Amino acid sequence: MRIATYNVNSITARLPRLLAWLESSGTDVLCIQETKCSAEQFPHDELRELGYESAVNATGRWNGVALLSKVGLEDVTLGLPGGPDYEGVQEPRAISATCGGVRVWSVYVPNGREVEHDHYGYKLDWFRALATAIAADAAGARPFAVLGDFNVAPTDEDVYDPAVFAGLTHVTPAERAALEALRAAGLSDVFPRALKYDRPYTFWDYRMLAFPKNKGMRIDLVYGNEAFAKAVTDSYVDREERKGKGASDHAPVVVDLDLG
């Protein structure tokens, strides 16, 4: 089974590229973030023509997550159980389902904005709720993974220049401790194994020629339980999909599993 996660930065803007990538990549299950569309606007029909069932949690603002599957889409849960509100609303940042015997979550963790901003506290609260919500699945025997845009670089090696990010969100001790809490719940970081580049970043800003200069961050992650991690045969960042006109500012992260 091939599972991937991809922050598309607007599924409407990226749809032609996404459909072409799905056809060429052989992906069975895709976790999508930042759909930037309402549930009614989501392109179920176009995806169905490629053989994908789809489920979406979206309201049409700048968030939104989805799951696509060619291997079944069962027990769908919208949202983060026990998750915090922001400005009185629980934002559409999580969706989960069982796909071909694997329990999968697609998550779009809050950005945090600035360390002094109330969005940063919301981000940490969201992480705490996520750790609680996934605890039972993480400890189970069934393969289980949380995939998505975590908006945290796990280590200094996951940013192109730690000095540039000093004092900013995405690299603070509290955010990295939130990832450690997920590991303490029984998950491990499925780090890309097939590398053509020294540092497998997943996000590059559109500005200042960040992508050609490889000034990126690894913030799109796959965290799996023991059963999931043992099944992994390969993983990689599809850097090619970040190239060219109309690309997202993120690249897909792909994981291959042998479920026996």
Rounded Cα–Cα distance for residues 255 and 168 (Å)? 30
> Is residue 5 within 8 Å of 253, Cβ to Cβ?
yes
Beta pairing partners, 232: 257
Inter-helix orientation angle 173-184/118-139, to 10°: 10
> Is residue 9 within 8 Å of 248, Cβ to Cβ?
yes
Three-state helix/strand/coil letters over 57-110: ECECCCCCEEEEECCCCEEEEECCCCCCCECCECCCCEEEEEECCEEEEEEECC
Domain ranges of the chain: 2-234
Contacts of 213 (CB under 8 A, 6+ apart): none
Average pLDDT over residues 163-169: 95
The model's pTM is 0.97
DSSP for residue 51: T
Percent of the chain exceeding pLDDT 90 equals 95
Average pLDDT over residues 17-38: 98
**pLDDT tens per residue across span 167-218:** 999 999 999 999 999 999 999 999 887 655 667 899 999 999 999 999 999 9
* Residue 143 backbone dihedrals phi, psi, to 5 degrees: -55, 130
CATH architecture for segment(s) 2-234: 4-Layer Sandwich (3.60)
**pLDDT tens per residue across span 64-101:** 999 999 999 999 999 999 999 999 999 999 999 999 99
